[in-house]
Amino acid sequence: MRLISYDDQIAGYLLTLNSIDFIDILTIAITPQFQQQGLGRALLDDLLQRLDKNKVLSIMLEVRVSNVSAIHFYQRYGFELIDTREKYYSNLEDAKILRLLI
């Protein structure tokens, strides 16, 4: 888990699950009052810089189909849609599965 602070307050976090050859982003979240200030980019940039590129082949994540801003955020990093999980969330919303090849 990585925390990010702003003005001495916790502003967000990144939670990952490391596997043998990929990383699964479980959650990346920024408190609403701190959104649109580049903190999500800072968390993802930090993750990408810390990768052992000899071992990690990809990064995977799921995102709600309705979360268009998050989908665009990840696509700017080169994440690509590889599949959809139907009724993945508790409200039965589908999830897009995105992957970034390293």
Q: Are 3 and 12 in contact (CB under 8 A)?
A: yes
Total Cβ atoms within 10 A of residue 79: 23
Burial of 30 (0-12, 13-18, 19+ CB in 10 A): buried
Active site residue 62: yes
Burial of 12 (0-12, 13-18, 19+ CB in 10 A): buried
- Catalytic-labelled residue, pool 74, 77, 88, 93: 74
- Catalytic-labelled residue, pool 6, 13, 62, 88: 62
User: Which residues are part of the catalytic machinery?
Assistant: 62, 74
